[in-house]
Amino acid sequence: MIKLYDEELTGYIEAEVEDFYCNDFPHFFVRIDKNSYVRWLYEPIYNVPEMITCNRPADGGHLIIEAADYEDFITREPNAKKYIKRLIGSKEFIHNLPRYCLWLKDCLPNEIRKMPLVYQRVEAVKNFRLANKRADTRKLASTLWLFGYIS
């Protein structure tokens, strides 16, 4: 349980750490206990690495392989296994859930064509990107086998 103080430190509300994690209280300060100092809400309560934006697919979900589909996918397309990587977003990180993606950065186009399921997904990415309203996303159709943003 933590106390969230208002800007004047005249009142507070109590919140469970899990509720607080979602940053629903942007105008409050945090005080862990009577002896701790007041921190801005945007600082982590615990000593943990900073989370940053990393790779974004911008693919309409076509480069993503859900955990339930993973075994079937590699059974039907065994040559793709070396191009499948673990995907960890916020939900996967917080709940330790498995999720995967096609990481085709080092895959040559002729190799993609030899894997029908992968090729089908890459074509779906192309269609998604070309039909997108955002010009930046449409430009990504020129590298349709790659994530839209790679950090």
What DSSP letter does each residue of 79-142 carry, written as one string?
Answer: GGGGGEEE---HHHHHHT--EEEE--TT--HHHHHT-HHHHHHHHHHHHHHHH-SSHHHHHGGG
Output the CA torsion sign for 29, 32, 37, 39: negative
| Residues 14 and 82 both lie in one domain | no
On whether both 34 and 70 belong to a single domain, the answer is no
**89 and 30 in one domain?**
no
- At 83 the pLDDT is 94
Looking at the domain assignment, is residue 89 inside a domain?
A: yes
pTM exceeds 0.75 for this model: no
Q: Cα–Cα distance between 129 and 146 in angstroms, integer?
A: 12
What pLDDT is recorded for position 49?
73
Please count the CA atoms within 13 angstroms of the CA of 150 that sit on its side-chain side: 9
Co-location of 34 and 69 in the same domain: no
The reply to whether 87 falls in a domain is: yes
Amino acid at 31: R
The series of mean pLDDT values per 10 residues for the chain, 151 residues long, is 62 58 48 52 64 75 92 96 90 88 89 95 90 84 74 68
- 89 and 18 part of one domain: no
Residue 6 belongs to what domain range?
Answer: 2-40
- Do 110 and 68 belong to one domain? yes
In a domain, 116, yes or no: yes
Q: Are strands 39-40 and 29-31 parallel, antiparallel or unpaired?
A: antiparallel
The number of distinct structural domains making up the chain is 2
Domain check: are 76 and 134 in the same one?
Answer: yes
What is the rounded distance in angstroms from the CA atom of residue 12 to the CA atom of residue 107? 55
| 133 and 83 within one domain | yes
Asked if 9 contacts 33 with a C-beta cutoff of 8 angstroms, the reply is: no
Q: Which of 126, 31, 19, 117 is nearest to 74 (CA)?
A: 117
Answer yes or no: do 127 and 72 share one domain: yes
Same domain, 77 and 125: yes
* pLDDT for residue 21: 42
In a domain, residue 50? The reply is no
Q: pLDDT at position 43, please?
A: 59
Give the pLDDT of residue 17: 54
**The predicted structure's pLDDT at residue 73:** 96
Return the closest-CA partner of residue 124 out of 105, 108, 144.
Answer: 144
Domain check: are 68 and 138 in the same one?
A: yes
